[in-house]
Structures are given as structure tokens and as C-alpha cells.
């Protein structure tokens, strides 16, 4: 199994500490409650593209500052069905305590992959964290794709899968809000291997939360293959595990990661807020991505980084 190692880049305005050889880094030297300079924005964005999920410690943000930080990376996404914070439709309240029967994010998934244009990224800010437990695990879908056999890659690259969300509310007992964003629960068909629009790397794009079936396969074939891929995502070598502290922030790229919030802290409190950034329609390009995985691709100017919103 060879996922390769991430190369360390030079940064002028932030510090970046990689956490594994495959995924994840901690960023320091920046107050994200304040508008980022052009250089700092570029460096944070470059680090996110390289490490797929980045973490910040000791941050203090109001709701408006949280939204402002997110908007520097794109237009904010409104969740299609989960209750949002009154007066702040772009913000999800994340909270668990001694009265919780279930928690958000429990189980491997990519946020709202059932949308026709799923979110580009999510920014979770936790203000109150358990003394012990409550970590979030992240899995690199670049690494998951690259670890597949050549024959499996070829097979999956020709397939698409259906993503939906209504079943989650029936299965897990979550209460959707009365005014669904689109008037109904979203569902979409996406390629099982997607090409990242910035890095041009290929990533596995199915998850046990939202992916229901593979288009064109018989039911048993679809279930068997999906179960194999869901298990593949759980491979430890693809992972980074983040231990939260009060006032920490995680910013992950939904196009190339999945995450799983551990619920091992009951009845302690874990509480904060999440904003999510709108994305674009997943696509697959057969173009070889070897250049994207080389050191020459670590600076993103050659990969169509859009101008800052």
C-alpha cells in the first residue's frame, strides 16, 4: 500500500505542522476571527489543498466572525434539512450532552454528498469539549483511491452512485426542520471516483452515510461492492485523529475526505457551531494525475485556484 508522503512547504505568514504522512496539519500563527491578508489566505488555502484537513487552536470567534472566515473561501451553504440556528441559516449548532440520544457526525461520511453540488468544505468551531474523548477522525479519499488495485480503479472510474438523505432521518431518529430548503430531501447521482477541481487528484467518492446504490449494478452486486469500499475507508493508514480542546477549529475539504465524530464522552458536553462552504458538481476526468501528486503541484497556481471571493 503506497499513498506517498506529503511534502513540507514553506510558509511566510503561518506555521504548519503535519500530523501524519497522508492527511492533516495544525496551523498556527493566525487569528482567524480577523480578515486574512491575501498572503495568509493563499497559504491557508494551499495548506488545506495539500493536507485535506487543517486545525487551529485557541481561536475565539463570534457567529458573524465564523461566517466571515468561511465566506473568504466561498459562498456559504445552507443545509437542506437539518435545523439551523435562528437568525443564522448558514450555521448549524453542534451540541451533545447528558440528554442526547444521538450525535451529529457519528459514522463515516462526506457532508451532504446528496446535494447536486455538495459542499466544498466545512469549518467546525467547538467552544466546549469533553475532558476526555470526543475526537474526530478524518480519512483521506486520495489515499483510499490510490491504494486500490489498478483493475479496481478502472472498474470504479466508469461507475456512478446515488446519494440520498431521507433514510438518515428514519434510521437515526433525527428530526428534520419543517421548511426543507428545496421542499424535499435531496438526492443526486455522482461519479464514484471524482477529480478534485483544484488539485486534479482523484478521490474515492462514496460514503456509508449517504450513498445508497451503484447505478447499473444489480442490488446484491451494489451492496457487496459498497460494503467493501465503506470498509476500505476505515483503513487506519488513511486517517488522522484530532483531539479537540476548547476553542479549536477543524476545516476540512469534503471533496477528498470523510470524517467520523466519536461519541465516547457521554454524558459530557461537546458543543459548538459549523459553517459549510458551497461546492460544485462532482466530475471525473480520465487525465492522469501523476503531476498533481508530484512536488511541482504543491503550489496551486497551476491548478486553477479561483480568485478570492
- 250 is written with which cell numbers? 477543524
> Active site residue: 259, 260, 270, 278, which one?
259
List residues bridging with 93 in a β-sheet: 273
> Active site residue: 45, 274, 278, 293, which one?
274
- 152 is written with which cell numbers? 479496481
> Active site residue: 109, 163, 190, 196, which one?
109
Q: 3-class SS at 267? A: coil
Count the neighbouring beta carbons within 10 Å of the beta carbon of residue 222: 19
> Active site residue: 46, 77, 79, 111, which one?
111
Count the neighbouring beta carbons within 10 Å of the beta carbon of residue 8: 12
Active site residue 135: no
Active site residue 264: no
Torsion sign, CA atoms 124, 229, 119, 172: negative
Degrees, nearest 5: CA angle 202-211-263? 100
Q: 3-class SS at 186? A: coil
Pairing of strands 53-56, 25-28: parallel
Q: Which residues are catalytic?
A: 109, 111, 259, 274
Amino acid at each position: 500500500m503506497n499513498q506517498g508522503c506529503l511534502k513540507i512547504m514553506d510558509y511566510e505568514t503561518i506555521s504548519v505542522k503535519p500530523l501524519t504522512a497522508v492527511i492533516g496539519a495544525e496551523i498556527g500563527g493566525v487569528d482567524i476571527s480577523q480578515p486574512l491578508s491575501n498572503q495568509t489566505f493563499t497559504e491557508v488555502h494551499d495548506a488545506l489543498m495539500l493536507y485535506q484537513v487543517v486545525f487551529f487552536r485557541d481561536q475565539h470567534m463570534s457567529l458573524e466572525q465564523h461566517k466571515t472566515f468561511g465566506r473568504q473561501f466561498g459562498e456559504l451553504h445552507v443545509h437542506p434539512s437539518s435545523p439551523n440556528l435562528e437568525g443564522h441559516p448558514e450555521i448549524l449548532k453542534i451540541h451533545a450532552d447528558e440528554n442526547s440520544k444521538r450525535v451529529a457526525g457519528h459514522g463515516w461520511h462526506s457532508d451532504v454528498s446528496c446535494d447536486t453540488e455538495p459542499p466544498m468544505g466545512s469549518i467546525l468551531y467547538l467552544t466546549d469539549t469533553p475532558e476526555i474523548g470526543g475526537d474526530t477522525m478524518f480519512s483521506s479519499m486520495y489515499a483510499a483511491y490510490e491504494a486500490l488495485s489498478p483493475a479496481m480503479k478502472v472498474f470504479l472510474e466508469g461507475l456512478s452512485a446515488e446519494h440520498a438523505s431521507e433514510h438518515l432521518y428514519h434510521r437515526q431518529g433525527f428530526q428534520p426542520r419543517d421548511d426543507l430548503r428545496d421542499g424535499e430531501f435531496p438526492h443526486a447521482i455522482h461519479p464514484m471516483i471524482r477529480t478534485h477541481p483544484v488539485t486534479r487528484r482523484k478521490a474515492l467518492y462514496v460514503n456509508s452515510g449517504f450513498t445508497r446504490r451503484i447505478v447499473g449494478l444489480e442490488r446484491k452486486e451494489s451492496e457487496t461492492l459498497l460494503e467493501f469500499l465503506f470498509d476500505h475507508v476505515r483503513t487506519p493508514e488513511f486517517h488522522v485523529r484530532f483531539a479537540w480542546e476548547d476553542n479549536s477549529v477543524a476545516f476540512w475539504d469534503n471533496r477528498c475526505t470523510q470524517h467520523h465524530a466519536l461519541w465516547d464522552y457521554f454524558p459530557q458536553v461537546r458543543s459548538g457551531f459549523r459553517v459549510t462552504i458551497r461546492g460544485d458538481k462532482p466530475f471525473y476526468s480520465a487525465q492522469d494525475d501523476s503531476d498533481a501528486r508530484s512536488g511541482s503541484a504543491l503550489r496551486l497556481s497551476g491548478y486553477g485556484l479561483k480568485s478570492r471571493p
